[in-house]
């Protein structure tokens, strides 16, 4: 494996870094937007998305004909590294940019590509993912939302749940059952649904961190034009899996950890332990070093994944590995900050004694969700057990 960058790539890094230095708003640096309410954060990040898009940094690797730059895999990785270095978040509409967009490029008709792709990067159309149902999460193929043909339309009835950002979305990529009699993987179809269609009700759900980021979504006789079917009727499972493969790679919170570690280091040097800065305590230093080692291991695994991508190979088990390790490290980092804060970790952000506006307890309460979303870590451990370690299937 060659870790060195070409002079063009170094030049590209310089370009990104200079742009970020000139454009990153102070209130988004170092996770300060974690202090905002979920709706304020959404609006703030939407503005930041527009700035990134105007700079040409959203969907870097997308082909130019759909508004991207046709950047190489290495350039995308360099951009992500520089975002982490600058300690700023990326854009919004990730369900569109990292999941639906690439899926449509692979499976969409020419009309669908022309109709839907150009509005994703500028966030003119925001997308949400309608997969999970109250009775179908890990066992996604058991989903029950029904779609029945009626002339030029499908008529959809059913319920989805945990649909992130549905309350702000214009469109949903939705899995529905179109043949209830077929074996469960063979009767599913993939539809693109206008969220303003009559018959859709969105109800926000509040998570343990206090945010209402995801939603219940109800469909009652919702009419979806047949031209919005992606892939073949009843063969939507393959399309759904393509989206999931892109999602797992995108959900690795490796870059999030890279952003948090310098902040944890800073916190440890501001808090006291035994009359000295906690960052000078041997046990604390050991833990900080351990986190840095694990972050480095995740980074090199990420490079292995990139190498496969550069060689044009499909995503391998590294995607599952990256998602497990980075989300669990993210959780342990946040929990360790709580340990350092001791009793201060219990204060709410409006308390005059709260440290860093109680940002760390918000992060600790948020971090668990990463181990559940986009396929739980238990399910992904099963994938690694079966596909990499060749262990027998669990029953």
What is the set of active-site residues?
247
Under rule CB under 6 A, which residues in 143-162 are in contact with ligand FAD? 162
Contact assessment for residue 246 and residue 98, using Cβ atoms and an 8 Å cutoff: yes
| Binding-site member from 74, 87, 98, 129 for ligand FAD (CB under 6 A) | 129
**Applying CB under 6 A, which part among 113-121, 130-138, 234-242, 274-282 lies near ligand FAD?**
130-138
| Binding-site member from 51, 157, 164, 307 for ligand FAD (CB under 6 A) | 164
Nearest residue to 213 (alpha-carbon basis) of 6, 372, 393: 372
Q: Counting contacts by CB under 6 A, is residue 98 touching ligand FAD?
A: no
Minimum distance from residue 172 beta carbon to ligand FAD (Å): 9
Q: Counting contacts by CB under 6 A, is residue 138 touching ligand FAD?
A: yes
Contacts of 144 (CB under 8 A, 6+ apart): 133, 135, 136, 158, 177
| Binding-site member from 24, 261, 306, 373 for ligand FAD (CB under 6 A) | 373
For 287-300, what is the HEC assignment?
Answer: HHHHHHHHHHHHHH
CA-CA distance, 201 to 157, in Å (whole number)? 12
Contact assessment for residue 165 and residue 155, using Cβ atoms and an 8 Å cutoff: no
Q: Counting contacts by CB under 6 A, is residue 173 touching ligand FAD?
A: no
Residue whose CB is less far from ligand FAD, 100 or 260:
100
Q: Counting contacts by CB under 6 A, is residue 376 touching ligand FAD?
A: yes
Beta bridge partners of 229: 191
| Binding-site member from 87, 132, 145, 242 for ligand FAD (CB under 6 A) | 132
Under rule CB under 6 A, which residues in 74-93 are in contact with ligand FAD? none
Q: Counting contacts by CB under 6 A, is residue 38 touching ligand FAD?
A: no
Sign of CA dihedral 302, 304, 309, 313: negative
Beta bridge partners of 191: 174, 229
Minimum distance from residue 343 beta carbon to ligand FAD (Å): 28
Residue whose CB is less far from ligand FAD, 118 or 137:
137
Query: Which DSSP letter does residue 156 get?
Result: E
CA-CA distance, 71 to 68, in Å (whole number)? 8
Under rule CB under 6 A, which residues in 195-224 are in contact with ligand FAD? 214
| Binding-site member from 55, 351, 378, 391 for ligand FAD (CB under 6 A) | 378
Contact assessment for residue 12 and residue 78, using Cβ atoms and an 8 Å cutoff: yes
CA-CA distance, 14 to 122, in Å (whole number)? 24
Long-range contacts of 181-188 (CB under 8 A, 24+ apart): 182/234, 184/141, 184/142, 185/141, 185/237, 186/234, 186/235, 186/237, 187/234, 188/141, 188/143, 188/234, 188/236, 188/237, 188/240
| Binding-site member from 107, 116, 127, 131 for ligand FAD (CB under 6 A) | 131
Minimum distance from residue 234 beta carbon to ligand FAD (Å): 20
* Number of chain positions touching ligand FAD (CB under 6 A): 19
Minimum distance from residue 137 beta carbon to ligand FAD (Å): 2
Contact positions vs ligand FAD (CB under 6 A) = 128-132, 137-138, 162-164, 214, 369, 372-373, 375-376, 378-379, 382
């Amino acid at each position: 494996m060659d870790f060195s960058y070409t002079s063009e790539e170094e030049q590209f890094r310089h370009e990104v870094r200079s742009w970020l230095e000139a454009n990153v708003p102070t209130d988004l640096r170092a996770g300060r937007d974690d202090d905002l309410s979920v709706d304020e954060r959404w609006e703030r990040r939407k503005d930041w998305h527009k700035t990134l898009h105007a700079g040409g940094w959203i969907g870097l690797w997308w082909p130019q004909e759909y508004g991207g730059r046709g950047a190489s895999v290495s350039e995308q990785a360099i951009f992500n590294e520089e975002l982490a270095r600058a300690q700023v978040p990326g854009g919004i509409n990730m369900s569109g940019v990292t999941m639906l967009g690439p899926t449509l490029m692979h499976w969409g008709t020419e009309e669908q590509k022309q109709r839907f792709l150009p509005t994703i990067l500028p966030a003119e159309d925001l997308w949400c993912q309608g997969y999970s149902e109250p009775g179908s999460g890990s066992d996604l193929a058991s989903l029950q939302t029904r779609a029945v043909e009626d002339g030029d339309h499908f008529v959809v009835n059913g319920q989805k749940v945990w649909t992130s950002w549905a309350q702000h979305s214009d469109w949903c990529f939705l899995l529905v059952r179109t043949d209830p009699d077929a074996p469960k993987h063979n009767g599913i179809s993939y539809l693109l649904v206008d969220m303003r269609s009559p018959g859709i009700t969105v109800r926000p759900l509040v998570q343990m961190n206090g945010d209402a980021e995801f939603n219940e979504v109800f469909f009652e006789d919702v009419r979806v034009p047949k031209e919005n079917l992606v892939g073949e009727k009843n063969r939507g499972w393959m399309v759904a899996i393509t989206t999931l493969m892109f999602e797992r790679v995108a959900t690795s919170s490796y870059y999030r950890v890279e952003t948090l570690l310098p902040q944890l280091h800073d916190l440890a040097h501001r808090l006291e332990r035994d009359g000295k800065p906690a960052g000078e305590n041997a046990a604390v230093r050991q833990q900080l070093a351990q986190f840095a080692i694990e972050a480095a291991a995740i980074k090199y695994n990420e490079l292995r994944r990139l190498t496969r991508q550069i060689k044009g190979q499909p995503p391998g088990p590294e995607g599952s590995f990256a998602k497990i390790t980075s989300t669990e490290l993210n959780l342990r980092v946040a929990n360790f900050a709580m340990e350092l804060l001791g009793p201060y970790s219990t204060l709410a952000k409006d308390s005059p004694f709260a440290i860093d506006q109680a940002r760390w307890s918000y992060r600790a309460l948020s971090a668990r969700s990463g181990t559940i979303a986009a396929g739980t870590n238990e399910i992904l451990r099963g994938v690694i057990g079966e596909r990499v370690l060749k262990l027998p299937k669990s029953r």
